[in-house]
Amino acid sequence: MQHLSRPGGDDPLSKRPGRPIPAKRTNIGGTGARRGSGYGGGTPGYGPRVDPDAVPRRRRWGRRLTVLAVILLVLAAVLLGGAGWYYAGEIHAGALAVDRSSGDTPDDTVVEALDGDRAVLRRTGEARNDDPLRRPETSGLVWDGGAGVVTGPPERRDDGSVVRSLDLVTGEPPAPGTLADLRGDVWTDPRAAYDVGYEEVGVPCAGGTCPAWFVPGEAPTWMIFVHGRGGSRTEGLRALGPAVRAGLPALLITYRNDEDSPEDPSGEYRYGDTEWRDLEAAVDVAVDRGARSVVLFGASMGGGIVAAFLERSDRADVVTGVVLDAPMLDLAATVEHGAAQRELPVIGALPGVLTETAEWLAGRRYDLDWDAVDYLPADWLEVPALVFHGTADRTVPISLTDELAAGRPGRVQVVRVPGAGHVRSWNVDPSGYERREAAFLACVTVAEPQSVCPGS
């Protein structure tokens, strides 16, 4: 039979018009890999096999993780904000709020027996480990109808009571069972402390008058005493002795927000930011009454008031020396020092981020300028300073005193008193305190005051 051929090719079966010859397929997965076996990564010639549901599934999990992270961040922010708001209120209550209620004398001690000058004393509540009743500290004891001074080493008894020496200062001796207040201020007025006369005077402050004690003296240099937050004029009595013996006239002042004094316009303590003007008014009184120079004493927040005065007042040039006791020279650092001693359930110590958040919120809620109450570095200190600070101070960190001294080398004498609590350096070592203070006053009250006083 004759084969019929078509134009364009010899093979009528393999060469047809319009139909190309397919190329030879190559096994991408490698020689010997079987089709669809998976060893070659999928279908030969077309790349790896892809699960059509895999990509959407991964995207769904990514979105879920993102949403979860956002939720956790929001919850953390809410918790941090809520806790910060609460602790901002704690800062206000513990540092800024003013309690002007006089109240009754707190009865924290009972006199169980008295034999001559030996008294059996017991705390009405649970005693702390650092209880001054159980330590050889000098303290004041005030009861209804009298006051005395507790001294000497303690004799601890198995029943929890303590035997101490009790020297009667005013009034009648306490009867057995008398409730009393054990206090660090020791005395109630200058006469009870040093058997000296004094006057009640008024110092202009905050649009009104702040009461003060004036103790007369013959020297041309006056000494002005500024107490701490929530304290009173009695706080300065412990440091008054060397001034009295040196013949320095003295003013023990109060300031705005104190009992019987006008309120600050803010209604709160301002840590020197406003109170320095009350100290300035007291310096004006001293100068108007003949003072040629002034030595300032500040305890705790009173130290901040002294710093603010020296930093801002035009009267700072009459000051020839400064004595400070546990000075609060940085409110934020003091707040952080207190926060570090607190613990929360489960997590323990307060996280630093929580304290920082609380400070930030407190600044905005209570119009508190933290920088304005930070007096370090001490560029304001141009005169010699003597600073006492107890190593067991749980209120104001001793690191602030160290920073003050480091910033004014040679100008600041620091007396670290082992075991002393807040503003209790005198109570732990009265004779050592007064000796150092007397030597310092002799240096800064001479006709030509020294710019640097040697340690003694």
300-326 mean pLDDT = 98
pLDDT band at 348 (very low <50, low <70, confident <90, very high): low
Summarize the confidence of residues 341-359 as an average pLDDT.
Answer: 77
Predicted local distance difference test score (pLDDT) of residue 36: 44
Q: 347-380 burial, b for 16+ CB within 10 Å, e for fewer?
A: eeebeeebbebbbebbbeebebebeebbbeebeb
CA distances from 178 to 118, 122, 143, 154, 167 (A): 15, 11, 7, 20, 16
Indicate whether 156 belongs to any domain. Answer: yes
Answer yes or no: do 87 and 236 share one domain.
no
Q: Which domain holds residue 211?
A: 190-330+375-444
| pLDDT over threshold 60, residue 335 | yes
Indicate whether 174 and 322 sit together in one domain: no
Phi, psi of 156 (to 5 degrees): -80, 140
Distance CA 246, CA 441 (A): 8
Structure tokens at 122: 């017991």
Residue 397 reports pLDDT greater than 80: yes
Query: 328 in helix, strand or coil?
Result: coil
> Is the distance from CB of 359 to CB of 332 less than 8 angstroms?
yes
Residue 32: inside a domain: no
The reply to whether 257 and 379 lie within a common domain is: yes
- Between the two ends of the chain, the Cα-to-Cα distance in Å is 139
Give the whole-angstrom CA distance, residue 242 versus residue 246: 6
Is the pLDDT at 77 greater than 80? The verdict is no
Clarify whether residues 173 and 236 are in a common domain: no
Residue 409 and residue 318 in one domain: yes
Confidence of residue 405 (pLDDT cuts 50, 70, 90): very high
Task: Specify whether the backbone of 128 is left (phi greater than 0), alpha (psi in -120 to 50) or beta.
Answer: beta
In the chain, the number of structural domains is 3
pLDDT value of residue 9: 45
Give the whole-angstrom CA distance, residue 399 versus residue 341.
Answer: 15
Please indicate, yes or no, whether residues 301 and 437 belong to a single structural domain of this protein. yes
Q: Check pLDDT > 70 for residue 54.
A: no
Contact criterion met (CB below 8 Å) for 184 and 139: yes
Distance CA 230, CA 332 (A): 18
pLDDT at 33: 43
Is 3 part of a structural domain of the chain? Answer: no
- Residue 259 located in a structural domain: yes
Say yes or no: 357 and 220 in one domain. Answer: no
Domain annotation covers residue 254: yes
Do both 357 and 214 map to the same domain? no
Residue 407: which of 445, 378, 384 has the closest Cα? 378
Are 172 and 146 in contact by the 8 Å Cβ rule? The answer is yes
Residue 38, amino acid: G
Query: Which letter does DSSP use for residue 200 in this model?
Result: E
Given a cut of 70, whether residue 55 has pLDDT beyond it is no
Model pLDDT for residues 232-266, shown as the tens digit of each residue: 999 999 999 999 999 999 999 999 999 999 999 99
Token pair recorded at residue 394: 């749980």
The answer to which of 103-112, 222-231, 363-372, 415-424 has the lowest mean pLDDT is 103-112
145 and 255 share one domain = no
Least confident of 19-23, 189-193, 246-250: 19-23
Q: Which two tokens stand for residue 307?
A: 């710093």
Q: Is 353 domain-assigned? A: yes
113-163 pLDDT, tens digit each:
999 999 999 999 988 878 999 999 999 999 999 999 999 999 999 999 999
Average pLDDT over residues 188-197: 97
Residue 455, domain member (yes or no): no
Q: pLDDT-based confidence at 450, cuts 50/70/90?
A: confident
More confident residue, 85 or 95: 95
- Domain end: 131, 163, 183, which one? 183
Provide the H-helix boundaries in 112-259. 190-194, 241-245
Q: Residue 48: inside a domain, yes or no?
A: no
Say yes or no: 202 and 179 in one domain: no
297 and 439 share one domain: yes
Q: Is the pLDDT of residue 47 over 80?
A: no
Q: Cα 279 to the chain's mean position, in Å?
A: 23
Residues 395 and 434 occupy one common structural domain: yes
pLDDT at 60 over 90: no
- Is residue 420 within 8 A of residue 391, CB to CB? The reply is yes
User: Please, are residues 171 and 178 in contact by the beta-carbon 8 Å criterion?
Assistant: no
Q: Which of 372, 244, 383 is nearest to 324 (CA)?
A: 383
- Phi, psi dihedral angles at 283 (to 5 degrees): -65, -40
